[in-house]
Amino acid sequence: MSKQKEEKDDQLKLSLKQSLFSGIAKYKNRFELFRAKWDIRRYTKSNWVWFTIIISISLLATQIYTIIEKFSLLPTQIPIFQIFVDADMTLAKREFIYLVPAISLVLIIVGVIFSNRYYNKERNLANTLLWTMLLAVTVATLALIRLIDTY
């Protein structure tokens, strides 16, 4: 009888104590739980949320594509910091143009995180955050395209 028990423990004569599929089943259960939590949330079902996120990411992709395509045509210094009155202070190295997509990415991430956090409690606040995110990324994209098209 002890020999039969040893054979049960020794699966497929590979000296495995557990089946290979037991580990996969554990992760599958975790994924199913995550998917159930995701399906319950109203945030993920809102068309407005997905519209703002997809448009914002599309605008970010447009910024990156525009910079990659036109970077070689830009002069060594460009007027990125247009908030200053002094002309010398507005000029910066052309590598600083990558700040625009970086700031847009941070705005998208912060907007999505905070709107997700407050969507069930304060839907108006979450929608305002999404509006602000979308408008800020749109303004940044238009300013970048205007700046690059001057050269």
Tens of pLDDT, residues 51-67: 999 999 999 999 999 98
The contacts of residue 71 (CB under 8 Å, 6+ apart) are 94, 97
* pLDDT, mean over the chain: 79
Strand partners, 77: 93
* pLDDT score for 2: 54
The DSSP element (H or E) to which 51 belongs, if any, is: helix 47-70
Which is more confident, 36 or 8?
36
**Residue 99 confidence (pLDDT) above 80:** yes
Half-sphere exposure of 57 (CA within 13 A, CB side): 7
Instruction: Determine the average pLDDT of the residues in 83-91.
Output: 70
**Residue 12 confidence (pLDDT) above 70:** no
Which of 134, 130, 136 shows the shortest CA–CA distance to 49?
130
Global pTM value: 0.66
What residue ranges do the domains of the chain occupy? 46-149
